[in-house]
Amino acid sequence: MLTTREELDRLNESEIREFAASLLNELRFKQALIDKLTHEMAVIKRLKFAAKAERFNTEQRSLLEDDTDADLQELAEQIEALQPKDEEREPPAKKPADARVAKRQALPPELPRREIRHEPESTACGCGCALKRIGEDVSEKLEYTPGEFSVERHIRGKWVCGHCETLTQAPVPAHVIDKGLPTTGLLAQVVVAKYLDHLPLYRQESVFARAGYALSRSTMAEWVGTIGVRLKPLVDAMRAHLLSRPVLHADETPVSMLAPGEGKTHRAYLWSYCSTVYDPVAAVVFDFADSRSGKNAGRFLGVAAERPAEGWRGTLICDDFGGYKHLFPLGVVEGGCLAHARRKFFDLWAGHKSVIAEQALKAFGALYKVEEDLAGITDTEARRRWRQEYARPLAEAFHRWLISERLKVPNGSATAKAIDYSLKRWTALTRYIDDGDLPADNNRVENLIRPIALGRANWLFAGSLRAGQRAAAIMSVLHTARINGHEPYAYLKDVLERLPTLPASRIDELLPYNWQPASE
C-alpha cells in the first residue's frame, strides 16, 4: 500500500486510477461487511427483547440472554476493528449535556486490595533536571481467586520537571479488555468455568455473589464475547497447523440450538477434528454447524467438488457416517475405526449372547492385543513392520471367517448387519496395518468429545449459531491446552496477559503445544 506523497507523485495517470479503484473496492468491501454485522446486531437486539415474551423457562431464558449479550459484544468488537484508525476517523459528535452515561459501580471498600505501582524507569528529565512527583492516577481491577475476590490497585505516579514542566508518567499496562474492570485471572475463571466446567453464567453469578461481589450475567457475557474475538487468531493458527497433518480424526455430536423466533430448539452439531496419538502436534479443533450435512466437513477441510485440486489431502479416521463419503473421491483417504465395527458385535452379544458375536469379539481382541504390544514403539516404520508380522495374519483369518459366517445367516438379521458393516468397510478398517502413522480406531476424538457431550445437560442449548461458533473456538483452545498437559486456567490467564502486546507474527508461541509460561 502506498503511504507517502512522494510515492504517489511517481505514479502515472493509469496507475493512479488503478490505485484509486483498489482503495474504492476495499472501502466498499469493508462497508458491506460493517452493514452486514450491523444488521445482525439489530436482529440480535430485537431477539433479546423479544425473548422475554417467549415461552422459555427461567434457565432457558438466562442462557439465551447470556449468549445474546456475548453475541452483541463480539459484533461490536468486529465492527470496531473494521472502522478507520483514530487518526483517519472523524471526531465523534458531542453528546447532549443531558445524555445519560453509564458509570462503573465502585468496587466494595471491604474487598482486600493489592497495590501495583507503575513508575518511570528514570526520574531524570531530558533537559537534565530531576523530576518531581506531583501526584498519581489510580485505577482498580477486580481480581478473583477461587472463592475470594480482591482488588488490584494500579497506581501510576505523576512526575514533573520543575524547570521545563515536562510531565512524565508510566504508560497504562496493555490489557486484553481495554480499560476493563476484570483482571486476566477473573476473565480466565469465567471462561474456563463456562466452557470447561459447563457452569452457565447465571450460576456463576450466584457463586460470585457468595464470594462478596455480585457480577451481573450481562457483564460477564460481554467479557466472553470479547474473549471469543481475541482468541480467534489462535484458533485460526491451530486449524492451519491441523490441516498440515497427514492423518486426522473426525467425529460429530449433536447440540441443541435455540431458534428464538420459534420458541423451540433444533438439532445442530459440534464437529471435532484432531491429530493422532502418534503425531507430535497434539491439537483438537471444534467446528459448530447448524446441521449434520457433509458439506460442513468439506468446508472445514477446504475440500469441494468445485475445487478438486485444493483442500486437505490425507487420511481421515472416521465412522461410517455418510457425510464423509463425498470427500473420498476428492483426494481424502478413508481410514476405518475398529472400535465402531467391534461395537456392532458387542451390542449383539450383550443383547442376545450370540455365539457368532462372541467369536468376533475374540478376533477384535487379538487385533487390539497387537496394538497394546507395540505401544512403546515410536518409529513409524517399526510399527508398520510389527503390524505386518502380527496383525496381518489375524486380520486375514478374521476376514475369511466373516465371509463364511455371512453365508450362514439370513439377510436383514442383526447378525448379518453386524457382519456386513465390517465386510463393506474392510479395506478402510485394515488400512492401518500398512501405515504406521494410522491408529486402529477413532477412540481418540471420541474421548475428546465426551466431556462436551456430558456438559450438554448444563448448557441446555446454544443460544445462536454465533454463540455455538464462539463456544467451539474457545473450547478448541482450552481442550488443546488440556491434552498437552497444561492446567487450562493457568494457560488461559497467561495467554490473555501476553496477547495484547504479542505481534501477530509470533502468535504460534501461544499455541498450547508450543506454549511456555511467561516466567520461563
- Give 308-364 pLDDT, tens digit per residue: 778 899 999 999 888 899 999 999 999 999 999 999 999 888 877 889 999 999 999
pLDDT in tens, 427-475: 999 999 999 999 999 999 988 887 776 666 555 455 677 888 888 899 9
Of 455, 452, 516, the C-alpha closest to 481 is: 516
Helices (H), 216-293: 217-242
Question: In whole angstroms, what is the distance from residue 181 CA to residue 139 CA?
Answer: 9
Residue pair 168/160 in contact by the 8 Å Cβ criterion: yes
Mean pLDDT on 8-30: 75
> Distance between terminal CA atoms of the chain?
39
Confidence at residue 10, expressed as pLDDT on a 0 to 100 scale:
65
- Per DSSP, the three-state class of 503 is coil
> Residue for cell digits 473456538?
473
Percent of the chain with pLDDT over 70: 83
Residue 204 in this model has a pLDDT that exceeds 70: yes
pLDDT for 51:
47
As a whole number of Å, the CA-based R_g of the chain is 29
d(CA 330, CA 320): 17
* pTM (whole model) above 0.85: no
